[in-house]
Structure 1
Amino acid sequence: MTSSTERRTWWLIFLVSGLFLLWRSVLPGGPGMARVYVKPVLAEGEGTTGEWVTARPDEPGALVSPARTAGVWVAALLTLAIFSFLYKDNPAYRFAEAVMVGVSAAYFMVAGFWDGLVPKLFVPLSRMQWGSGADVGRSLLTLTPLVLGMMLLWRLLPRGGWIARWPLAFIVGTYAGIRLLSFLEADFVSQIRNTIVPLLVRNPDGLGFDLWASVRNGLMLGGVLSCLAYFFFSVDHRGAYGRVARVGVWYLMITFGASFAFTVMGRIALLAARLEFLFDDWLWLIDPLGKRT
């Protein structure tokens, strides 16, 4: 397919899609789409309106919310712009990508300012009694992150960028030390503790043994030992030892496969959620939850 034919094909697709959206959303007699209806809810114990909640179109007092309707349209168009990358890279995809990155960066910056700097730095500094000797230690603890933060911003200046290395080293070292302890507790000690299990599990009533629990514990212990044997390279993987290490490879492959499948299932769930949003909230082609009937 030549470039001109391809361009005409896509223009035809866009034209048909635009006419379809126009018929569903604007023209009289259309089934309607992408409208969010709300209704007022009275506050408890008062006669005033407390908040506006989502409502079905046929409910008494239901009104179209322009802001929420615009939000549905923006979300749908940005979703389609991201999906357009499945065809090829294009300006619509790059615009949606830039919007997502910019909005995310701005959100985390504002959240970090109001949730971090304001309550943990500005508020303590405003309440500090600088003339009192009792607040000297606390003031030093409060001023330390302020000084480190200002040193970190030094990297933006044309000279003295090396000053930013000191707070960066402090942040990396502190984070590594804190996370090391948590990882040792969660990933190392707890795994050793969970591996120390009885091979023969008795029933709760004390009569006989629980077959499946015993098999499960045996498989887990065998998997741990065989995986450790595979990663122990001081001994040649030959003979009986090599067969045990081979069993460890099977355990590893099953684990990696299950982990990959779980990740793929999560991504498919996200895709299904976006498709449901497009066909339900935007196009009104489906209504699985009965939000409009």
Structure 2
Amino acid sequence: MNFLTPNYNQEILDKKLTIEEGVRSQEPGVRRMGSMGCLTPPTAFAPCRRWGIKSIRDKDNRHCVRIWPPGMGMLVIIDPTVENYQMLASGVLPGAKVIILNSEEDEVRQITRAILDYPVNSLHIVCHGSPGSLQLGNIKFSFSNLGEYGAEFKRWGEVIGTGGIFLYGCEIAAGNIGKAFVVRFHELTGVGVAAAIDRVGCAELGGSWELGVKVGEVGNSLAFEQEVLVSYPGVLQEDLLFASQLNNPPVAGDDNVSTAENTPVTFPFLSNDTDPDGDIVLIDSFDLSSTNGGSVSLNNDGTFT
């Protein structure tokens, strides 16, 4: 079989070709990415059936060209706490590899293991985010603690190709702290990093899939089918936790409620926080930390908003 250089693409296209799954070579593949339509010997990517690579060759078996699926080399890491994560997992581009994190194992080590097990040109991490941080399973990464994982991140960068790292989380790159986070992540991994300034996800909830802040060399393709991105119903925001101590224990203790960022929350306290003897509940303090342009209102019906 003769293998041509890319200069002969037109000659290949002019021939009468047939499509056949896989290649004949059984030699081990190498961790090196190719491009759509690149002409290569069959030994370059032996595990073709596994990755969905197709060989197009003419009927006299003289010429061969490889066609790479669009998701070839993409490793997609998904935090299962993300809303409708199954929809995203089933909607990746053909050829992409999906890993759903296990909450009972160290998340960083799971990613490291996956990167070492598969040929990776780009890493796509789907998780909750907020300005300058991302929540990945049980670990919350911020600018202040990224360095603690420097050794693992360096291993990532030694394997990941030129496609870079995509962080799918709301507002990770927002503000000065967000941009500093992305720069630091790039420095620790040694590869390009892309993240969003705004919400990521459903347009009706104010989201989009634009990861507009890029530091270093990053690819242009997201890891998901366009139909999935358009129909996904949620956004990838971190949940906020509110706590209010509305009476003295043991009769009444702290009340807790969670909501997404920039989403109003209302919760009652008079209905379940009165003493059995009818004492009036008095509020002498209200502690609300880490806000950004928010406000708190006490309504006439005994609720906070």
Q: TM-score, normalised by structure 2?
A: 0.17
Give 1 or 2: higher strand fraction.
2
Q: TM-score, normalised by structure 1?
A: 0.17
Give 1 or 2: higher helix fraction.
1
